């Protein structure tokens, strides 16, 4: 076998259409289609190139069978032990015995193994994975395996994906979208720690990015800029409004009604207000549909202590729901009050589970709670009076921290291992709507029904970074989520 690493050091192949990376096919342009869409693999501007087809048919990349694993280990031994001399006797380690380790192999149509790579868990619960032991017959297959490993890590919920890369291969990996972090020594040979830029957290927050441009000149630049509610001038009344996604109102009308009241009550609670009432606007194709929406609205009004005072109902129209809420406080808490050095806390209800039909997107911790338990949680910010607070929205927990930091004119560093979370993949938890969760700078909101933990710090440097158990920092949000800027 030729010097594997010399072959891999060749130029990255050009992008071609129609390459099949997995046995179940690929998206146009050669992007892997493994277990559904791999969220957060690349931003459009950083799309890694796909290898061109060989003469004839390209190899397929599949998860290895036991027989294919044995062939892959034999290739590793020839490359890393016999030829490279990096290991004595064998190159097997604990990752080979870990049941979480994923082995991908490239095979021809006859089933012969042409190369392979491991995707191993450094800490699967935190979404920290590493690629390792890449072997391939040539650079084209090597590139194919690297890209497949990135997609598979993203599908496994990775928020961080590293590799220890031999020094002479840094350029090869860089051309596939990887970033050099620092120098390393592995098995006595110079390497670099390299990292693939997974974007799932930034993608979740990106839905808020157009707000700055859209609302420029419309909203006053006061201390409430970026908040979900606002004090009515000259009163102690807090007002807020929310609209539910029309597709959800159409598909799941009763749950949409409940959620309309939920998000309204939470917006008021994040500003420290006690709820006093709400107005709703409901539209639907017929009375059956509107009745279902209103059942959810009524149940939510009772559960969250937010009585419906009036509103508007329209029949024979596409599904629609918006709720305007009112509360009262003489000490409203803004999202903009944080300062560099302030501790960041997350207060969340970890009970419940994924709402049926919304796995990975909506965590339902509220529908099984009593009115008294919900009132206790909704009073957490009012009791604590933190410098700044914000309820976690559809931008996810990290995106919401980014919005609080943006309004405060700061950045944030989040300790990944300190984030309170239920028995769910961390990547899903950080990007979902979590039922009840609030982030706060300064004093910690608490309630008997919730878990509260300090999970980070506001910083003078903009953006949001994740601090990992090994001390490494990775960028979650490179810039402000909304573009609204700092509140005055």
pLDDT of 186 reads 86
Is the CB of residue 452 less than 8 Å from the CB of residue 390?
no
Token digits of residue 20:
């099949």
pLDDT of 86 reads 86
- The maximal CA–CA distance of the chain, rounded, in angstroms, is 80
Is the CB of residue 290 less than 8 Å from the CB of residue 313?
yes
Is the CB of residue 328 less than 8 Å from the CB of residue 334?
no
Q: What is the pLDDT of residues 89-137, one digit of tens each?
A: 999 999 999 999 999 999 999 999 999 999 999 999 999 999 999 999 9
CA–CA gap between residue 379 and residue 395 (Å, rounded): 23
Is the CB of residue 436 less than 8 Å from the CB of residue 367?
no
Domain ranges of the chain: 4-198, 201-227+335-488, 229-333
As a 3-state breakdown, the chain gives helix, strand, coil percent values, each rounded to 5, of 30, 30, 40
Superfamily of domain 4-198: Gcn5-related N-acetyltransferase (GNAT) (3.40.630.30)
pLDDT of 19 reads 24
CB neighbour list of residue 235: distance below 8 Å, 6 or more residues apart? none
pLDDT of 55 reads 53
CB neighbour list of residue 218: distance below 8 Å, 6 or more residues apart? none
Question: What kind of fold does domain 201-227+335-488 have according to CATH?
Answer: Phosphoribosyl-aminoimidazole Synthetase; Chain A, domain 2 (3.90.650)
Among residues 197, 151, 173, the alpha carbon closest in space to that of 477 is found at 197
Q: Which DSSP string corresponds to 262-281?
A: HHHHHHHHHTTPEEEEEEEE
Helix 253-270 vs helix 287-304: crossing angle, to nearest 10: 30
Average pLDDT across each block of 10 residues of the chain; the chain has 488 residues. List them in order: 34 32 28 35 34 61 97 95 91 95 96 97 97 95 97 97 95 97 91 97 94 94 95 97 96 98 98 98 98 98 98 97 98 98 98 96 96 98 98 95 98 98 96 97 98 98 97 96 94
CA–CA gap between residue 414 and residue 160 (Å, rounded): 14
Token digits of residue 148:
């497949």
CATH hierarchy code of domain 229-333: 3.30.1330.10
Q: Which DSSP string corresponds to 56-68?
A: SSPPEEEE--HHH
Among residues 133, 17, 4, the alpha carbon closest in space to that of 69 is found at 133
Token digits of residue 444:
């910690």
Q: What is the pLDDT of residues 346-365, one digit of tens each?
A: 999 999 999 999 999 999 99
Is the CB of residue 412 less than 8 Å from the CB of residue 344?
yes
The full length of the chain comes to: 488
DSSP state, 98? -
The side-by-side arrangement of strands in the sheet containing 437-441 is 388-391, 437-441, 343-348, 451-459, 411-415, 464-467, 473-477
Number of H helices, E strands in the chain: 14, 23
DSSP state, 47? P
């Amino acid at each position: 076998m030729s010097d594997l690493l010399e072959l891999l050091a060749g130029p990255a192949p050009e992008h071609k259409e129609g390459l099949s990376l997995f046995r179940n096919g690929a998206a146009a342009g050669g992007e892997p289609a493994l277990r559904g869409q791999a969220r957060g693999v690349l931003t459009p501007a950083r799309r890694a190139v796909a290898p061109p087809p060989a003469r004839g048919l390209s190899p397929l990349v599949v998860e290895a069978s036991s027989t294919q694993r044995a062939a892959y280990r034999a290739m590793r031994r020839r490359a890393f032990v016999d030829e490279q001399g990096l290991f004595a006797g064998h190159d097997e380690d604990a990752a080979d015995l870990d049941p979480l380790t994923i082995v991908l192999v490239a095979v021809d149509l006859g089933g012969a193994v042409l190369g392979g790579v491991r995707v191993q868990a450094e800490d699967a619960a935190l979404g920290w994975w590493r690629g390792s032991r890449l072997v391939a017959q040539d650079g084209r297959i090597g590139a194919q395996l690297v890209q497949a490993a990135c997609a598979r890590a993203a599908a496994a919920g990775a928020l961080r994906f590293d590799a220890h890369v031999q020094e002479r291969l840094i350029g090869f990996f860089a051309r596939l979208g990887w970033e050099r972090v620092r120098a390393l020594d592995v098995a006595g040979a110079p390497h670099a720690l390299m990292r693939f830029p997974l974007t799932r957290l930034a993608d979740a927050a990106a839905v808020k990015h157009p707000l700055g441009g859209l609302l420029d000149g419309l909203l006053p630049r006061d201390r409430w800029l970026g908040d979900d509610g606002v004090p009515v001038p000259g009163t102690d009344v807090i007002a807020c409004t929310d609209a539910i996604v029309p597709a959800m109102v159409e598909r799941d009308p009763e749950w949409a009604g409940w959620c309309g009241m939920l998000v309204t009550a939470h917006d008021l609670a994040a500003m420290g207000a006690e709820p006093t009432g709400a107005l709703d606007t409901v539209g639907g194709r017929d009375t059956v549909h509107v009745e279902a929406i209103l059942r959810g609205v009524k149940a939510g009004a009772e559960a969250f202590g937010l009585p419906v005072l009036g509103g508007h109902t329209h029949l024979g129209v596409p599904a629609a729901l918006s709720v305007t809420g009112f509360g009262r406080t003489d000490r409203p808490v803004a999202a903009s009050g944080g300062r560099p050095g302030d501790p960041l806390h997350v207060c969340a209800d970890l009970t419940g589970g994924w709402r049926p039909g919304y796995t990975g997107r909506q965590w339902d911790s509220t529908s099984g709670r009593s009115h008294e338990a919900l009132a206790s949680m909704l009073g957490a910010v009012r009791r604590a009076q933190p410098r700044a607070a914000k309820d976690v929205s559809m931008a996810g927990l990290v995106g919401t921290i980014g919005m609080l930091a943006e309004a405060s004119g700061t950045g944030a560093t989040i300790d990944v291992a300190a984030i309170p979370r239920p028995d769910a993949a961390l990547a899903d938890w950080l990007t979902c709507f979590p039922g009840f969760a609030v982030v706060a700078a300064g004093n910690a909101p608490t309630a008997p029904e919730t878990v509260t933990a300090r999970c980070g710090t506001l910083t003078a440097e903009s953006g949001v970074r994740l601090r990992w158990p090994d001390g490494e920092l990775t960028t979650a949000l490179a810039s402000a989520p909304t573009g609204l800027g700092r509140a005055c």
